[in-house]
């Protein structure tokens, strides 16, 4: 499938977990998916798109990724290139697989809101438990 897609559908298991996380943390699903996507992209092994169904929640791409759509797509495409996959043909399936896997990882690692902070890289945290302002520039 080409990169021209406006709708994204995750799996039913990921949808269930996303709804649980939304209820527990009062964070919208699009933000949770963004966090999960980044978390999954940081994993060394690629996700397997065949592990996930497509019977879950449907997102509008702009709602899901917002004004940072180009950044998220560039990160996924770069990952595909690193894995010798076609960034045009494999983009949708791999993007959705990363979303699904990311939601699964978040669901298994978050018990309370402070756990979100624990997912951040150490180099952007300071000693007081706050994100360093110079890391946001």
Does residue 131 fall inside a structural domain?
yes
The owner of tokens 């180099």 is 123
What pTM was computed for the model?
0.85
Does residue 85 fall inside a structural domain?
yes
Q: How many separate domains does the chain show?
A: 1
pLDDT at 127: 64
- Please indicate whether residue 128 or residue 20 has the higher confidence score (pLDDT): 20
Q: Which CATH number covers residue 12?
A: 1.10.1220.160
Does residue 2 fall inside a structural domain?
no
pLDDT > 70 fraction of the chain, expressed in percent and rounded? 87
Residue 41 has pLDDT above 70, yes or no: yes
Does residue 1 fall inside a structural domain?
no
Residue range of the domain that includes 21: 7-136
Does residue 81 fall inside a structural domain?
yes
Residue-wise pLDDT for 90-104, tens only, equals 999 999 999 999 999
């Amino acid at each position: 499938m080409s990169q021209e897609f406006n709708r994204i559908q995750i799996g039913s298991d990921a949808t269930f977990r996303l709804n649980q996380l939304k209820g527990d943390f009062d964070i919208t699903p699009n933000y949770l998916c963004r966090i999960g996507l980044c978390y999954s992209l940081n994993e060394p092994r690629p996700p397997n798109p065949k592990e996930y169904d497509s019977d879950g929640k449907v997102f509008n791409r702009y709602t899901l990724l917002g004004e940072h759509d180009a950044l998220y797509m560039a990160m996924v495409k770069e990952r595909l290139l690193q894995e010798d996959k076609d960034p045009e043909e494999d983009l949708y399936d791999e993007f959705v697989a990363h979303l699904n896997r990311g939601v699964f990882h978040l669901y298994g690692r978050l018990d309370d809101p402070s756990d979100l902070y624990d997912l951040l890289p150490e180099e952007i945290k300071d000693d007081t438990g706050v994100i360093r302002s110079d890391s946001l520039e």
